[in-house]
A = this chain, B = another copy of it.
Amino acid sequence: MSIQGQRLVRGADVAHAAGVSVATVSLVLNDRRNVVLSERTRDRVREAARRLGYLPNRVAQSLIQGRTRTMGVVLPSLASSFVARIVDGIGSAATSAGLGLLLAHSRHDPESEDRQLEILLGQRVEGIVIVAGEGTLPTLGRRLDRLQQSATPFVVVDDDTHGHRGDCVVSDDLQGMDLAVAHLASLGHRRIAHLGAGTATSTARARQDGYRAAMTRLRLRVDRDWIAGDAFRSADPAASLMCLLRARRPPTAVVAANDRHLAAALPSLLAAGVQVPRDLSIVGYANYDFASYLGLTSVEQDPELIGAKAFERLRSRIEEGPSKPTRIRMPVRLVLRSSTQPAFLRA
């Protein structure tokens, strides 16, 4: 194998230099202690290897050993900091484990994601983490089919639609929504509405379910028109939010399924003369970077931990072989800021 035409040092070169066979070189460098080798030979080989700058070819190793020590990650894009931080967690875990990480970028395109997946499978990665993306979600099923057909262990992150078919790691949206609603309720709010993020993703649906469950648990009534933006891919969060405020019994607080939606809706809120939190308490979700600058109370996930957990799950799945799929829900926490205040302080 060569790079730039220049032939790289092979085991045979080291063997020649040390006056031994290639087998011996391999034995020495992999420190196989069960086979007897004299200290003198070991030293000679190590010295020759060092002198020649010998680095064993992992491609050949993979081929003969039947394992690549590499994991694959499929993702739509790294533009979202949530995804990037998940991959950060995966990468960090991979580094600790001494495993390689092969990235497959679908750019939100299902066809492209299929192709990238084939590359990963061709490369014989030992396991695959799929980070769900809205654009590629509808066809996720066929890729899982492909993975199961090829018997490659996988874990899906940030979507549990296919949780019955394989492992997945998601953040605990029910808990998150419960924290958010309970916080508002503890401030005396009773009329709490939900600004959803559509029903296209399992997270968006889970958050909506979580909102309902929390309201029920706290014995708070949910008006029919208190759930906004539940259309497929709610186009305009601002319009949805303004719609909420024109409800028959207008809410005094809103929990959103996503910081971004909320942030996008803020300007029109202010334009309509609605002051936060005086007239309306709001709670976001995801705790994006900008939430702290907006003073937005938000449910915080831990993407790095989600990634690390997914990696860990994948490793034990590889070790232990097929078994019942597990659905892992990672805990979240509520970060209090200035966008919420007691209901009795309202104007």
User: From DSSP, what is the main secondary structure of chain A's interface residues?
Assistant: mixed
User: What is the total number of residues of chain A having a CB less than 8 Å from a CB of chain B?
Assistant: 68
Minimum CB–CB distance from A14 to chain B (whole Å) comes to 15
Cβ–Cβ < 8 Å partners of A102 in chain B: 70, 100-103
How many of these chains are in the complex?
Answer: 2
A121 at the binding interface (Cβ < 8 Å):
yes
Residue of B nearest to A121 (CB): B55
CA distance in complex: A94, B84 (Å): 17
Of B85, B101, B289, the contact of A288 (CB 8 Å cutoff): B289
> Max chain B CB contacts within 10 Å: which of A4, A150, A289, A290?
A4
Cβ–Cβ < 8 Å partners of A57 in chain B: 63, 122, 124
A321 at the binding interface (Cβ < 8 Å):
yes
CA distance in complex: A121, B293 (Å): 43
Of B1, B6, B91, B124, the contact of A59 (CB 8 Å cutoff): B124
Q: Which residues of A in the span 70-128 have a Cβ within 8 Å of any Cβ on B? A: 70, 73, 77-79, 81, 84-85, 87-88, 91-92, 94-95, 98, 100-107, 112, 115-116, 118-119, 121-124, 126
Of B68, B118, B263, B304, the contact of A55 (CB 8 Å cutoff): B118
Shortest 10 CB-CB contacts between residues of A and residues of B: A84-B84, A91-B105, A78-B88, A58-B122, A101-B103, A293-B293, A95-B105, A78-B84, A290-B290, A1-B66
22 A-B pairs with C-beta separation under 8 A: A1-B66, A1-B67, A1-B124, A4-B321, A6-B151, A8-B124, A57-B122, A59-B123, A63-B63, A78-B78, A79-B84, A91-B105, A95-B104, A95-B105, A98-B115, A100-B119, A102-B102, A288-B289, A289-B290, A290-B290, A290-B292, A293-B293
